[in-house]
Amino acid sequence: MQRERIIREIRTRLATARGVTVLTGAGISADSGVPTFRGADGLWRNFRAEDLATPEAFARDPCVVWEWYNWRRELIATKSPNPAHYALVDLEKRFERFWLITQNVDGLHGAAGSQKLSEIHGNIWKVRCTRCGRVDENRELPIAIPPSCAACGGLLRPHIVWFGEALATEDLNRSYEALGRCEVLLIIGTSGIVYPAASFAPVAKAAGAFVVEINLDATPNTQVVDVSLQGRTKDVVPELLP
């Protein structure tokens, strides 16, 4: 299908939908200047995200993991939402049922004003005590390493879901409910290889949704979706909202 026809088709689907769900990944924040995980600019001191964002890495050396998070927090603190984030805030207001599921931990959807939102991998501006479990917002830059809990003195960790850890049940339930009840699912800027989000396209499709992918490149989701639009999120996402 030609690009114009695809965009027309998506607009028509959105015009008649009552329920819309959106899944976003690092690609939407790339247009705000946040490095993606699997792009070359996502490396820090030659570590890959998979070497640092794990409970094992934190148990081995919490200070190095916190140094990485300080680097990422300082970088993200200088970034702002882009037109794609704002287009999703606009989209949220147009539908009876809307849910935004993001794998991003940078908080840019919230900063843009999104409210119907699950941050399924957590948020880089929150910390959790490894001893008492208390979760707090924390915007210190840099955070003192190693950071400790104001309540019990235990070691704090980022409130982020690391590789090998389970997502919060509430986030998963809400996501599956939103995937099962939408007429349109937009999958924006994700490589589609990290589970469970990698399974969201087939889940929504099986439930009857029209599934759209927006990405710079082809991904494993490209085979599953109804239509695929290649391009930068900051250009393509606003185009879908006339």
Q: Which of 32, 118, 123, 215 binds ligand OAD (CB under 6 A)?
A: 215
DSSP 221: G
Of 190, 204, 163, nearest in space to 49 by CA: 163
Q: φ, ψ for residue 214 (rounded to 5)?
A: -125, 120
**Phi then psi for 55, rounded to 5 degrees?**
-65, -30
Q: Which range binds ligand OAD by CB under 6 A, 66-74, 129-137, 148-156, 183-191?
A: 183-191
Least CB distance to ligand OAD at residue 71 (A): 14
- Cα–Cα distances (Å) from 217 to 4, 48, 129, 221, 233, in that order, read 18, 21, 39, 11, 12
The alpha-carbon radius of gyration of the chain (Å, integer) is 18
Active site residue 121: yes
Pattern of binders to ligand OAD over 30-69, x per CB under 6 A? Answer: xx----xxxx---------x---x----------------
Give the interface size with ligand OAD as a residue count (CB under 6 A). 27
Rank residues 17 and 84 by Cβ distance to ligand OAD and give the closer one.
84
Q: Output the CA angle 195-197-203, nearest 5 degrees.
A: 110
Beta carbons of 148 and 177 less than 8 angstroms apart: no
x/- letters, 74..103, toward ligand OAD (CB under 6 A): -----------------------------x
Structure-token pair, residue 48: 């890959």
In this structure, what token pair is assigned to residue 8?
Answer: 């027309």
Q: In the complex with ligand OAD, which residue's Cβ is closer, 106 or 183?
A: 106
Strand-pairing partners, residue 227, are 212
Q: Which of 65, 129, 161, 204 binds ligand OAD (CB under 6 A)?
A: 161
By beta-carbon proximity to ligand OAD, the closer residue of 168 and 181 is: 168
The residue within the footprint of ligand OAD, chosen from 109, 121, 126, 157 (CB under 6 A), is: 121
Site residues (CB under 6 A) for ligand OAD?
A: 25-27, 30-31, 36-39, 49, 53, 103, 105, 121, 160-162, 189-191, 194, 215-217, 219, 232-233
